[in-house]
Amino acid sequence: MPNLENLGQCPTCKVPNQERFWRLRYPSWPKLNWGLLLGCGLARFTSSKGKIIPAMNRFFTIIVSTSMYLIWNLRNTRVLETSTQIEPSLVLSPSKSNY
């Protein structure tokens, strides 16, 4: 497809399939979902012998929570810097509200 050559390729180092390499490096990391993002501090990683690995727990919590915060900030910046005008008729005055 034209103009989609960069999909699946790191724009900085031009290496394709970064997710595959990440999975090889950290195979025990779970697939992320909303529950895991919100509860990233509760994730527990254990060794093959069942012993908890505190360093991996801290690393996972820091990476996931910092990434989520950065994505949230970038999204808010994009939304707030977009100059959209709200129609005055769409804004309810206190006398017209249902409360």
pTM: 0.56
Cβ burial 7-17 (10 Å sphere, 16+ → b, else e): eeeeeeeeeee
CA-nearest of 41, 45, 86 to 62 is 41
Per-residue pLDDT at 18? 64
Query: Is residue 55's pLDDT more than 90?
Result: yes
Give the mean pLDDT of the chain. 75
pLDDT (tens digit, 9 = 90+) per residue, 4-50?
A: 455 555 566 666 666 677 677 777 778 888 898 889 999 999 988 99
pLDDT (tens digit, 9 = 90+) per residue, 60-96?
A: 999 999 999 998 898 888 888 875 655 555 555 555 5
Instruction: Give the number of other CB atoms < 10 A from CB of residue 64.
Output: 19
In the beta sheet, which residues pair with residue 52? 46
Cα torsion 12, 15, 17, 20: sign: negative
Query: Is residue 54's pLDDT more than 90?
Result: yes
